[in-house]
Amino acid sequence: MDEGVPKKAARRIRHALLASFRASGGFRLVAASPWRHRHLLILCYHGVSLRDEHEWDPMLFVTPAFLRRRFEILRDNGYVVLPLAEAVCRLVDGKLPHRSVALTFDDGFHNFFSAAMPLLEEFGYPATVYLSSYYCLHQRPILGITLRYLLWLARSQALPAGTLPAQSEPVDLGDVRQRDRLAARLLVDVRLLAQDREAQLAWLALVADRLGIDWEDIVRSRRLHLMTGEEVAAIAQRGFDVQLHTHRHRTPREESTFRSEVLENRLIIKELTGRPATHFCYPSGDVDPVFLPWLRDLGVETATTCAVGLANVGQNTLLLPRYIDTMAQTEVLFEGWLSGAAEMLKWRGK
Ligand SMILES: [Zn+2]
């Protein structure tokens, strides 16, 4: 739904205030303050695009050039990027270095291996990858996001009824709402009709074919795949940290199912990396207080959320906030969060 004009205007005004605070040297003062010294900023990314994925979903994908620029800002402003586990230990012990930051990448996309890792290595930055293991084991494009991507690729088309399986009405794919509605309906259908993986893959190929999209190219480019087991093993060998994100990217409210999700995920990560995984990220930022004792029982040491903020010394380490950096965030806002100024000004919008 469209945001109201007053909300947009308020955001512009707050952004202008933040920009003038930066221009007057405010960010530098806050970044060097004892207050910022006691806080940790955990940055969150998802995918790094290999083609045009960022144009389709700029909240999920950033370009390599965008990520490079972010790393340059970290480097040029004296931020210290720490491995996540060390950063949280130091936070709790009150021993953080000045301007501390940790980097996290959710889901374990193939593009971490092919696009993010080379940049991280160039800058010498450690990072944690939260791996959801199902699509790592079963190598194919992720069903839900691939369907949305296919419909976006065909956004210039108006589909007569019956073009796609179970599409009973004409749909203008140029209209975002119609496109989203169709994606939601098709997804329900495919999940009901085809529980087996091969049938789902064939269904996606059929949708691509009916839309006139080169399906083989999408599969070959692996732009919507997670890393293979070999790629996960390779990043771990190169020093990157692979941690828990549940097996099927879900957070059931029933304890035994929740435990199975985490334990299966942990077993696969251990097999691939040879290391125990004891750090967790809530899939889709879905946090419920009921999960906390379950996570503690599972020996989970830290858990990150999608709540926006810097982590402070008294923080519950199973509810660590992060800053979700996307292509929608300006450099002023990014630096506002790095310095801590955005947190001090109680900034919560974009
Ligand atoms: Zn995720």
pLDDT at 350: 46
What local confidence, expressed as pLDDT, does residue 4 receive?
A: 64
197-216 pLDDT, tens per residue? 888 899 999 999 999 999 99
Give per-residue pLDDT as tens, 67-80. Answer: 999 999 999 999 99
First vs last Cα of the chain: how many Å apart?
16
Nearest to 58 by CA among 46, 76, 74: 46
CA 274 / ligand 1 centre spacing (Å): 22
CATH class of 5-137+225-344: alpha beta
The encoded tokens of residue 252 equal 């059931």
Whether the per-residue pLDDT at 130 is higher than 80: the answer is yes
pLDDT confidence tier of residue 34, bands split at 50, 70 and 90: very high
pLDDT of residue 192: 74
Neighbours of 289 (CB within 10 A): 8
- Which pair of structure tokens corresponds to residue 327? 């292509």
Between the CA of 284 and the centroid of ligand 1 the distance, in Å, is 5
Which stretches within the chain are classed as H helix? 5-23, 26-31, 34-37, 53-56, 64-76, 84-93, 110-111, 117-123, 134-137, 143-153, 176-193, 197-211, 215-221, 229-237, 255-273, 291-297, 331-339, 341-344
Return all residues near 98 (Cβ < 8 A) that are at least 6 apart. Answer: 31, 32, 36, 37, 78, 80
Q: pLDDT tens, 237-266?
A: 999 999 999 999 999 999 999 999 999 999
Distance of alpha carbon 111 from alpha carbon 121, whole angstroms: 14
pLDDT for 208 equals 97
Interval between CA 245 and ligand 1 midpoint (Å): 7
Instruction: Indicate the Cα dihedral angle 248, 250, 254, 260, nearest 10°.
Output: 30
Cα(53)–Cα(348) distance, rounded to whole angstroms?
A: 26
Taking residues 159-171, what's their average pLDDT?
A: 91
* Distance in Å, CA 282 to ligand 1 centroid: 7
The confidence score (pLDDT) of residue 254 equals 97
Are 94 and 32 spatial neighbours (Cβ–Cβ below 8 Å)? no
- Contact of 102 with 43, CB cutoff 8 Å: yes
CA of 226 from ligand 1 middle (Å) equals 11
pLDDT at 1: 44
Burial status of residue 7 (CB atoms within 10 A of its CB: 0-12, 13-18, 19 or more): exposed
Q: What values do phi and psi take at 312, rounded to 5?
A: -115, 175
Are 225 and 142 within 8 A, CB to CB? Answer: yes
Q: According to the model, what pLDDT value does residue 318 have?
A: 98
Distance 249 CA to ligand 1 centre (A): 6
Q: Could you tell me the distance, in angstroms and rounded to a whole number, from the CA of residue 106 to the centre of ligand 1?
A: 5
Higher-pLDDT residue of 16, 113: 113
Q: Which residue has the higher pLDDT, 114 or 193?
A: 114
Contacts of 67 (CB under 8 A, 6+ apart): 45, 48, 115, 116, 119
Centre of ligand 1 to C-alpha 247, Å, is 11
21 pLDDT exceeds 50?
Answer: yes
Residue 3 Cα, ligand 1 centroid: separation in angstroms?
25
With a cut of 60, say whether residue 144 has pLDDT above it.
Answer: yes
Pick from 310, 347, 308: nearest CA to 325: 308
Domain range list for the chain: 5-137+225-344, 143-221
What is the Å distance from ligand 1's center to 25 Cα? 36
Measuring CA to CA, which residue among 90, 89, 134 is closest to residue 269? 134
Average pLDDT, rounded, for the chain: 94
Question: From the CA of 250, how far away is ligand 1's center (Å)?
Answer: 9
For residue 121, which amino acid is it? E
Task: Quote the ligand 1 centre to 12 CA distance (angstroms).
Answer: 30
Contact 40, 309 (CB under 8 A): no
